[in-house]
């Protein structure tokens, strides 16, 4: 982590701005509303393999998926 911070501190102003802009473009993909669905699927796959069971899908993700389906 210290190495990452060290390298960041040595970026030029332009490089920091470019990095910030790239981060903003990716922010929707990295939002928990998006990543959370994949986390639940991955966790359920692991639970099925190890314990032959699943975790219920939280209502929050179910509602988001329903909204997405309605918008199609």
pLDDT of residue 2: 95
Same structural domain, 36 and 59:
yes
Give 12-69 pLDDT, tens digit per residue: 999 999 999 999 998 888 888 788 888 888 888 888 888 888 777 777 666 666 665 5
Range(s) of the domain holding residue 1: 1-29
Same structural domain, 38 and 61:
yes
Percent helix / strand / coil, the chain, rounded to 5: 75, 0, 25
Same structural domain, 17 and 38:
no
pLDDT of residue 67: 63
Same structural domain, 44 and 70:
yes
The dihedral of CA 60, 68, 54, 30: what is its sign?
negative
The better pLDDT of the pair 61, 7 is held by: 7
Same structural domain, 12 and 38:
no
């Amino acid at each position: 982590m210290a190495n990452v911070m060290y390298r960041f501190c040595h970026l030029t102003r332009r490089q920091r701005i470019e990095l910030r802009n790239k981060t903003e473009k990716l922010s929707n993909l990295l939002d928990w509303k998006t990543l959370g669905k994949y986390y639940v699927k991955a966790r359920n796959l692991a639970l099925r393999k190890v314990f032959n069971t699943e975790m219920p899908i939280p209502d929050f993700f179910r509602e988001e998926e329903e909204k997405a389906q309605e918008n199609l």
